Amino acid sequence: MVAAEASGQNRFLFISNGHGEDAIAAAIVARMPSSAIVEAYPMIGAGNAYAGVCPIVGPRATLASEGWRNVKGSLRRDIATGGLGTVPPALNFLRKIKGKYDRVVVVGDMVGVLACTVTGHRDLYYLDVYKTGSARLYSSPERWTIKRACRTVFCRADNLARSLEQIGVDARSAGNVMMDAIPHGDYDAPSRHTRPLAVTLLPGSRALTAESFALQVNALRTLPAGLRPDVFLAVAGSISVDELAKKTGLKRTSLLSTEPADLGELSDGDLTIHMARGGAMGNLLAASDLVLSQAGTATVQALGLGKPAITFVNPRDRRSRFNDEQMLFGEARTVVAAEAPAVGAALRKLLGDDEERRRLANIGRQRIGGPGAMAAIIEALVQ
């Protein structure tokens, strides 16, 4: 701290609360000026997205839900499995570091803002990646908390920013930061193309990932051979490939390249799935025509790139949140029952209709919005 003050360098703390939020925050940190001293506090999970980007500080917390509130009863399960025990260490840490950073940046939903508020932090920079502006706006308690604790807020939609501006908050809508934070790695997806069309599987990054992946694979198996696309799989850092293979009866083949993001293939001799680390997801999406997705942030990014999504409704999904998302996505995300024949039928329809794919692609781009927020955020932080 003394060295930083003597050199005139600014110290930044980025607080995030989930896998997708970590990835967005890490992408921002990676583009910060080299003179900035940056640390990150991932409130939930290991914070793997920050590896090689910046140091991690604060206590590690593990929740059964991993912070994913799209599943019914997730909060109750977190409490039942000791989740409340993660709160005191987090609050104690936030109290202890009060005043030690020049800028504190919260990336995610209101959880980080609330935690900072009750521990005395003020003048926060808040990047709201949760609210879309198409469903619920900020509630009165949320507006009160934001006005009390935040210096500047970056929103995903103009109407969200306006609602905060009306109460005197410096709120801005400069684009969708998720579109600035699409990860790319060393993986040549086009060289693996053997068929006219390609699909990327985004089964998610949490407890239901293997189950979702198995259903996606079974849906692909319903396709006639002549319509089957090339298939790519983005594997999130915390997911076990061996578990995915076991769940589907596929076998993992040895690596065929020296590309760092290459994770080999899963195959049964009939269906072959090319795997890459989640850090190369942008490479897979660029080479694909649509996605099968149960992910959160990655679904938004895929739609914003013009890749229509097919999603199935899990009986455990929290429908209110799911419906809020669908109000934003509209027709760009096709929603079907959690059954392989239903997912397969949606796949056959889109794979066989070029014009419909183009129509849905345009809807996705328009609904999600383009990049630009990241440059505005960094400018505000370092000005």
Question: What are the boundaries of each domain within the chain?
Answer: 2-181+371-382, 190-368
List all residues 6 or more positions away from 159 whose beta carbon is below 8 Å from its beta carbon: 133, 137
Residue 77: pLDDT over 50 = no
What average pLDDT score do residues 292-302 get? 93
Q: For position 60, what pLDDT does the model report?
A: 84
Tell me the torsion sign for CA atoms 160, 25, 45, 207: positive
* Distance (Å, whole) CA 43 – CA 40: 9
- Between 255 and 249, where is the model more confident? 249
Tell me how far CA of residue 51 lies from CA of 23, 27, 56, 130, 366, in angstroms: 10, 11, 8, 24, 33
Q: Do residues 285 and 305 lie in contact, with contact meaning Cβ atoms separated by under 8 Å?
A: yes
| Confidence bin at 296 (pLDDT 50/70/90) | confident
Q: For position 7, what pLDDT does the model report?
A: 44
- Between 27 and 318, where is the model more confident? 27
Helices 140-149, 110-118: inter-axial angle, 10-degree rounding: 60
User: Which of 73-77, 96-100, 163-167, 300-304 is least confident?
Assistant: 73-77
The CATH number of 190-368 is: 3.40.50.2000
Identical fold between 2-181+371-382 and 190-368: yes
Residue 224: pLDDT over 90 = yes
Tell me which amino acid residue 205 is.
S
pLDDT in tens, 110-142: 999 999 999 999 999 999 998 988 888 999 999
What average pLDDT score do residues 32-56 get? 94
The fraction of the chain above a pLDDT of 90, given in percent, is 73
User: Which of 128-137, 143-152, 173-182, 341-350 is least confident?
Assistant: 128-137
Helices (H), 110-199: 110-118, 140-149, 158-165, 177-180
Q: For position 87, what pLDDT does the model report?
A: 85
What average pLDDT score do residues 54-72 get? 68
| Confidence bin at 81 (pLDDT 50/70/90) | very low
Tell me how far CA of residue 207 lies from CA of 34, 86, 223, in angstroms: 37, 19, 27
What average pLDDT score do residues 351-380 get? 95
Q: For position 318, what pLDDT does the model report?
A: 67
Q: Is 338 exposed, middle or buried (0-12, 13-18, 19+ CB in 10 A)?
A: middle
Q: Work out whether strand 251-253 and strand 230-235 pair parallel, antiparallel, or are unpaired.
A: unpaired
Q: With helix as H, strand as E and coil as C, how does 182-250 read?
A: CCCCCCCCHHHCCCCCEEEEECCCCCCHHHHHHHHHHHHHCCCHHHCCEEEEEECCCCCHHHHHHHHCC
Q: Work out whether strand 333-337 and strand 309-313 pair parallel, antiparallel, or are unpaired.
A: parallel
| Confidence bin at 82 (pLDDT 50/70/90) | very low
Query: Is the CATH number of domain 2-181+371-382 3.40.50?
Result: yes
What average pLDDT score do residues 87-106 get? 95
Can you name the residues that pair with 41 across neighbouring β-strands? 15
The SS3 call for residue 383 is: coil
Tell me which amino acid residue 43 is.
M
